[in-house]
Amino acid sequence: MQLLFVNRCIELIRLMGGNLLQCPPVYGYNNMTDKETKVKAPSKKELMREIENLDTKKVFDLVSLSRTNVANIKAIAVMLKG
């Protein structure tokens, strides 16, 4: 009885192409592979360092600017690169 079950399992594996790892994705499980890595957004500190380097005339008050949100800091960095 057990031998018949094992033979059926082996037959099923062969029908699947021999790949035991072919299974449907499980909900809540991270299915990202090495190729599908998320692009990391620059942090607030990285953006502030970039603005500090781009601000050659030292126009910006960096302490005050560091209190603003990331979207505004990104916009200022883009304008300075501009």
What does the block give as tokens for 16?
């699947």
Assigned domain for 18 exists: no
Assigned domain for 75 exists: yes
| 35 pLDDT more than 90 | no
Number of domains, the chain: 1
Assigned domain for 32 exists: no
For residue 77, count CB atoms less than 10 angstroms from its CB and return exposed for 0-12, middle for 13-18, buried for 19 or more: buried
Q: How far apart are the first and last CA of the chain?
A: 75
Residue 71 structural domain: 41-82
| 22 pLDDT more than 80 | no
Amino acid at site 56: T
Short-list 29, 20, 76, CA closest to 51 = 76
pTM greater than 0.75 (yes/no): no
Assigned domain for 3 exists: no
Assigned domain for 1 exists: no
Assigned domain for 68 exists: yes
Assigned domain for 15 exists: no
| 69 pLDDT more than 90 | yes
Assigned domain for 2 exists: no
Mean of the per-residue pLDDT values of the chain: 79
More confident residue, 56 or 22: 56
Distance of CA 50 to the CA centre of its chain: 22
